[in-house]
Structure 1
């Protein structure tokens, strides 16, 4: 599939019954790219693990799956990939250059963009002339984080900057996640735990800096709020998990 379970992908077509199944074989050395303050260029190693050559189109945008390299989101992106279109033979490698464009960005928090890798396989030449086929194209998306200088806390302090609050609403219990840090918090795993009871998984993907997200719970915690805790794994700059836990606070809110 993609270089990581955390990279997003979408299929641009389906194969007919005469064709075999296809999965993304374009692999990247990391799951994200981080531009530290003042960084003008980063590189990303890519390798084609497919048994066939592919043509790849690369662009950076705001992450909407319906957008493309000519969309407004791509035109205003803070990063430009070089080369934007290239061919990779089987087992071939390339160092994709990512250049900062210098567009103005917030100085009090990270900014998030998405690198798109649009993978086009070759046309089949071994099928009957009247065979009806659709070419499969695969699109992988990877985070590109622009990190300004002089942020008030270090990225290593991100786990301690997350606050979790139980809200008893009329439409059911929810957990509010407040990210008081200037960094994006990307969750690999998240659960609400009570002593002596199975942990309740929470479906969270990412919380932007200096914002909050609210998640619905299947049921209220089986213990008192002061006895509950939230355990989580964040995705670090290197793609590895960063473990953390926090006490669960309580509040009452309307629907």
Structure 2
């Protein structure tokens, strides 16, 4: 099993010997957006999907907490995709409905779930019986944010309110990203302005939470530093910002 992690979505490749060959290992079923923002007051959302493949596929959809080994039958997410299983013709489209059950969720912050699209290709029967072939089933995961009504701030304020702290903790130098807002902060990239390499390729910081990123001792020991970050907004667009890092006193 090989896992490929991407900033906007996560794709799990499940490989097994079977009757399917000659396909490229990439997600052929794609969505109109890279994330779904579900207002808690709304009963449902729709998401347009298109099959870019030149062959039909069967897709199984479910929403869960994002664990890579989760299955539809053990999901407890309050969002139900309809239809849960469907066939898509080559280059065909479908409108996937996402229904909110109304189950209680925190009212002072967003909740995060993941929409899974498990794409199953067809089998090929016109092959030689002694030919080794490979079946590739692809699982794509997309973020689904459930946003309560009446939050104290706007989602457009996230970039301006993030805080960055340098901590030269012995044996564990790290950069702490603090998110004081009720929204998830989705960073596509994080680095210091004085360094070329990235500190983190992708990072999600929970509402009213923080996340630690390991850094080099020489970076943690600096008396001043500036963190440059790329924030992803509700529409999947990026906002590039820079912020001075605060030094944690010892």
- Cα distance in 1 for partners of 2:7, 2:240 equals 18
Q: What is the match of residue 107 of structure 1?
A: 107
Matches for 1:17-36 after TM superposition, within 5 Å: 19-22=21-24, 23-36=26-39
Instruction: Tell me if 1:249 matches 2:246.
Output: yes
Q: What is the match of residue 151 of structure 1?
A: 151
The alignment covers a number of residue pairs equal to 244
Q: What is the match of residue 236 of structure 1?
A: 233
Runs of 4+ in 1 over 6 A off after TM superposition: none
Matches for 1:70-149 after TM superposition, within 5 Å: 70-71=73-74, 74=75, 76-149=76-149
Q: What is the match of residue 8 of structure 2?
A: 6
Q: Which runs of no fewer than 5 residues in structure 1 stay unpaired?
A: none
> SS where residue 137 of structure 1 aligns?
strand
> SS where residue 86 of structure 2 aligns?
strand
Deviation, structure 1 residue 124: 1.0
Matches for 1:29-68 after TM superposition, within 5 Å: 29-68=32-71
- Cα distance in 2 for partners of 1:19, 1:134 equals 5
Cα displacement string for residues 191-242 of structure 1 (whole angstroms, at most 9, x for unaligned residues):
1123xxx34421142111111111111242399533x211111111000102
State the Cα RMSD in Å: 2.2
Aligned 8 A contact 2:82 2:96 in 1: yes
Q: Which runs of no fewer than 5 residues in structure 2 stay unpaired?
A: none
> SS where residue 156 of structure 2 aligns?
helix
Q: TM-score, normalised by structure 1?
A: 0.89
Matches for 1:147-226 after TM superposition, within 5 Å: 147-194=147-194, 198-203=195-200, 204-221=202-219, 224-226=222-224
Deviation, structure 1 residue 129: 3.0
Deviation, structure 1 residue 173: 2.2
Q: TM-score, normalised by structure 2?
A: 0.90
Cα displacement string for residues 6-36 of structure 1 (whole angstroms, at most 9, x for unaligned residues):
2101112145799324222101100000012
Deviation, structure 1 residue 111: 0.2
Deviation, structure 1 residue 175: 0.5
- Cα distance in 2 for partners of 1:242, 1:131 equals 50
Q: 1:5 to 1:162 in 2, by over 3 A?
A: closer
Deviation, structure 1 residue 133: 3.9
Deviation, structure 1 residue 243: 2.1
Aligned 8 A contact 2:11 2:139 in 1: yes
